[in-house]
Structure 1
Amino acid sequence: MSRPDTPAHDGGNPVEQQATAWFVRLRADDTSERDRQAWQRWLHADPLHQAAYGRIEALWSSLGEFATAPELAVRVPRPRPRAAAHRVPRRRRWLGAAAAALVLACAGGMAFVLLPPRAVESSYRTAIGERRSLQLEDGTRVDLDADTRVQVRYDPRGRLVRLDGGRAFFRVARDSERPFVVQTAAGSVRALGTQFEVSQLGQAADVTLYEGSVELRGGNDATRPATRLGVLVPGQRARMAAQRLQVTDAAVAAGSAPGWLSGRLVFNDTPLPEAVAEFGRYSFKPVLLADPGLASYRVSGVFRGEDVDGFIQALGEVYGIPEHHTANGSHVLGKAR
């Protein structure tokens, strides 16, 4: 069985209707293992299926004590009487009525007073040296680098992720009705179905596009119109700062992913202060620049995130930068003037 019989409602969303039919089918008295296996195949066939099923579960949970109330069923036209030989068990009849009511609510054809649209909000963070992978309710995958903080808000109008610090890689599930926006202190990144990385760098933000297309906007308030700064194509990196955009080639291959997902830090003519900040995500013993003149140095190379000693050794070999340690173990580069 590819999918259960779905009540037909003009103008309804077919994916929402299928999700509701599966939700009800799995709670019927005669559900079989074959049904559950078919549901699993349907669920994993498309991220939209997972997102729709998640919304149905959330909708049902939000009913609370009203979930078994007979008032739910009366919102659905009563079916025509059937012959006794085809009579459906009472529990199945009630579930079918509730399913139709849920489908109508999701399709917008008949709204429940008890079920106003709800926003879903969550917060996630990683510690120094920790990386974390998340799957959001719409199927979007988010990888958080070390020392990263994000806040997620999903509602019927849109999907918003606020990056408060650190760095994240997004694989966005397509949803043409709800734009996906990543908000930073320097501006926002708007996407539909795409893969990109965003790094928060103080009051600036770096965006690297791996697949698809994103639109960059200045300003830090997603609820008000913002200045459109530009659109990226795969292989480009942009820095947003002070309502301005600087675009460069990122030299990333289609289908690839950031090196930090596997613990590698890749620098390509990177200013030394930024490279030092990268290692700060992975080490509890910070690297400090004692000489302001070191800010003009640039770094290229591939390092392990946890190998700060190897990084400092390479700086000494290439640039002759001296190092000493403070009483608490911090690495100090250069001599203070």
Structure 2
Amino acid sequence: MSASLRSNQHGKAASMSSTPDFPTLQEAAEWFALLRADDANSRDRQRWQIWLDAEPSHREAWRKVEAVNEQFTMLPGEVARDALTATGTQRRKLAKRLALLCLATSAGGLLATRAPRDYLAALNAQYRTDIGITQKIVLADGSQIWLNTASAADAYFTDDLRRIVVHKGEVLIETAPDHHAPKRPLVVDVKDGRLRALGTRFTVRPSDKGTHLAVLQGAVSVEPADGTATRVIAAGSEVTFGSNWIGHPVATNESRTSWSRNMLMPDNMRLADFLDELSRYRRGYIACSPEVADLRLVGVYPLADTDRVLAALTASLPIKVRRILPWWISVEPA
């Protein structure tokens, strides 16, 4: 097996960090395929153990490969099964696909992790949507919320406060006048802080890089969790903030909410960014080749069938779509 040779070539660099690079992930994927093959033996396992113990990054790479295997129900039937029965060049190609997927997920893609408490809160939320599903909900005070794909939120109304908690995904909120006496403020809580609606329509999208807010009508007060000075974001602006910082607002528009009408409406958007957005509405992974990543896109794309969207892209741009596996699509130059 060539993995041990490659390990010697880049072992010194890998030892400087426990974060695995692509060659290390590829080695882990090859070991994964080898050890699960019918002809794997005790000597193979001993060699694997030596490799595993050689560098901290090897253990991290192995963990990511195992995580991919556990995450995708199709993996044992597609990559793992094929890798187990393959030999030579074919096995290395399949292992490379697995390593690429691990690399993508380690950068914040498919296997983005959440703290157990956050995960359970999202799992048990009052309002939840699955991948590819959006939903409109009318709250007790007449306010309306739309949940985007794979989203979760709760709503709590008391005599003092109207409170919405967004656990994951994205939510469009359209507030209604409060007829309760005394009138109650409407707030939205996310991991990074609190938003206070000032008679408004806005979207909220938390992520590991901060919470994104886009204000379409009215205004929203942003209050980071650590008590950093608040800032009011006016209609027509969007901003990203964290638990102790608020970014610089930039212009926004109604296309931000097109998903609530089951559409995506890119306006001079990079192809790579569009594919990242589209991937939220389907299971699996969409890879975009660097050669076509900066192509620009304008149009209206219905979300009811993401495969048709991909087909439409090939008709309007110099690209091709390769289905490497049922859940793995690669967009490349035509």
TM-score by length of 1: 0.52
Match of 1:173 in 2: 176
Q: Using the TM superposition, give the Cα deviation of residue 327 of structure 1 relative to its aligned residue in structure 2, in angstroms.
A: 2.6
- Bigger-Rg structure (1/2): 1
What is the CA–CA distance in structure 2 between the aligned matches of 1:184 and 1:294, rounded to whole Å?
35
Q: Partner of 1:174: helix, strand, or coil?
A: coil
Q: Partner of 1:312: helix, strand, or coil?
A: helix
What is the CA–CA distance in structure 2 between the aligned matches of 1:293 and 1:164, rounded to whole Å?
36
* Superposition pairs of residues 159-238 of structure 1, within 5 angstroms: 159-175=162-178, 177-219=183-225, 226-238=227-239
CA deviation vs aligned residue, 1:61-91 (integer Å, no higher than 9, x gap): xxxxxxxxxxxxxxxxxxxxxxxxxxxxxxx
> Which structure's residues are more often helix, by fraction?
2
CA contact (8 A) 2:129 2:147 kept: yes
What is the CA–CA distance in structure 2 between the aligned matches of 1:295 and 1:278, rounded to whole Å?
13
105, 130, 139: which is aligned to 1:136? 139
Residue 125 and residue 313 in structure 1: after superposition, are their counterparts in 2 closer, same or farther (change >3 A)? same
Gaps of 5+ in 2: 1-123
Q: Using the TM superposition, give the Cα deviation of residue 159 of structure 1 relative to its aligned residue in structure 2, in angstroms.
A: 2.2
* Superposition pairs of residues 5-20 of structure 1, within 5 angstroms: none
Q: Partner of 2:168: helix, strand, or coil?
A: strand
Partner letter of residue 263 of structure 1? N
Residue 142 and residue 332 in structure 1: after superposition, are their counterparts in 2 closer, same or farther (change >3 A)? same
Match of 1:325 in 2: 323
Partner letter of residue 227 of structure 1? T
Residue 170 and residue 327 in structure 1: after superposition, are their counterparts in 2 closer, same or farther (change >3 A)? same
Match of 2:158 in 1: 155
Q: Using the TM superposition, give the Cα deviation of residue 239 of structure 1 relative to its aligned residue in structure 2, in angstroms.
A: 2.4
CA contact (8 A) 1:215 1:228 kept: no
What is the CA–CA distance in structure 1 between the aligned matches of 2:307 and 2:301, rounded to whole Å?
10
What is the CA–CA distance in structure 2 between the aligned matches of 1:208 and 1:161, rounded to whole Å?
16
Partner letter of residue 156 of structure 1? D
CA deviation vs aligned residue, 1:25-48 (integer Å, no higher than 9, x gap): xxxxxxxxxxxxxxxxxxxxxxxx
The alignment yields a C-alpha RMSD, in angstroms, of 3.1
Q: Using the TM superposition, give the Cα deviation of residue 315 of structure 1 relative to its aligned residue in structure 2, in angstroms.
A: 4.6
Match of 1:123 in 2: 126
CA deviation vs aligned residue, 1:2-60 (integer Å, no higher than 9, x gap): xxxxxxxxxxxxxxxxxxxxxxxxxxxxxxxxxxxxxxxxxxxxxxxxxxxxxxxxxxx
Partner letter of residue 268 of structure 1? D
Q: Partner of 2:170: helix, strand, or coil?
A: strand
CA contact (8 A) 1:279 1:306 kept: no
Match of 2:67 in 1: none
Pair 1:264 & 2:263 matched: yes
CA deviation vs aligned residue, 1:113-155 (integer Å, no higher than 9, x gap): xxxxxxxx96210112222221222222111122111122233
CA contact (8 A) 1:271 1:298 kept: yes
Partner letter of residue 228 of structure 2? T
Please identify, of 290-299 and 134-143, the stretch whose mean Cα deviation from structure 2 is larger.
290-299
Q: Partner of 1:228: helix, strand, or coil?
A: coil
Match of 2:241 in 1: 240
Gaps of 5+ in 1: 1-120, 220-224
Residue 141 and residue 187 in structure 1: after superposition, are their counterparts in 2 closer, same or farther (change >3 A)? same
CA deviation vs aligned residue, 1:218-260 (integer Å, no higher than 9, x gap): 23xxxxx6223522222222222462323222234xxx99222
What is the CA–CA distance in structure 1 between the aligned matches of 2:147 and 2:191, rounded to whole Å?
17
Residue 138 and residue 166 in structure 1: after superposition, are their counterparts in 2 closer, same or farther (change >3 A)? same
Equivalent pairs counted in the alignment come to 206
